[in-house]
Amino acid sequence: MTESEKEIEDKGLFQVVLDDDEEVIQVIRPHKGRAWFGMIVGLILLTLVMVPFGIMMIVFHDQGDSDSLGAGIGALVFWGILTAFGIVSIALWSHKTVYAWTNKRVLIRTGYIGVDYKSLDLTMVGALSVNVTMVDKLLRRNTGTIVFGSMASPMTTQNASKFNFAFVYDPYRVYKEIKGHIDQKKNAK
What digits encode the pLDDT tens for the residues 36-68?
888 888 889 888 988 888 888 777 776 665 667
Distance between CA atoms of residues 48 and 151, nearest Å: 42
48 shares a domain with 18 = no
107 shares a domain with 26 = yes
Number of Cβ atoms within 10 Å of the Cβ of 165: 25
169 shares a domain with 113 = yes
Better-predicted residue by pLDDT, 55 or 7? 55
Distance between CA atoms of residues 124 and 12, nearest Å: 25
Residue 98 domain-assigned (yes or no): no
pLDDT of residue 9: 82
175 shares a domain with 152 = yes
**Strand blocks (E) in 29-135:** 98-102, 105-110, 116-121, 125-131
Better-predicted residue by pLDDT, 121 or 162? 121
Yes or no: say if 30 and 99 are a contact pair by the CB < 8 Å rule. Answer: yes
pLDDT in tens, 94-140: 889 999 999 999 999 998 888 999 999 988 888 899 999 888 887 77
**Model pTM score:** 0.80
Q: For residue 170, is it left (φ>0), alpha (ψ between -120 and 50) or beta? A: left
Residue 96 domain-assigned (yes or no): no
107 shares a domain with 167 = yes
Mean local confidence (pLDDT), 136-146? 84
Yes or no: say if 127 and 160 are a contact pair by the CB < 8 Å rule. Answer: no
Q: Which domain holds residue 8?
A: 3-30+103-187
Residue 169 domain-assigned (yes or no): yes
Residue 149 domain-assigned (yes or no): yes
181 shares a domain with 116 = yes
Instruction: Say yes or no to pLDDT of 155 above 60.
Output: no
- Cβ neighbours of residue 35 closer than 8 Å, sequence gap 6 or more: 90, 93, 94, 166, 167
Last residue in a domain, options 68, 91, 114 = 91
CATH at residue 136: 2.30.29
pLDDT of residue 138: 79
146 shares a domain with 71 = no
Q: What percent of the chain has pLDDT over 70?
A: 87
Residue 21, classed as helix, strand or coil, is: coil
Domain count, the chain: 2
175 shares a domain with 82 = no
CA distances from 71 to 6, 28, 53, 98 (A): 49, 45, 9, 41
109 shares a domain with 181 = yes
Yes or no: say if 117 and 109 are a contact pair by the CB < 8 Å rule. Answer: yes
- DSSP 8-state code for residue 162: T
Last residue in a domain, options 50, 69, 91 = 91
Residue 97 domain-assigned (yes or no): no
44 shares a domain with 26 = no
Instruction: Say yes or no to pLDDT of 79 above 60.
Output: yes
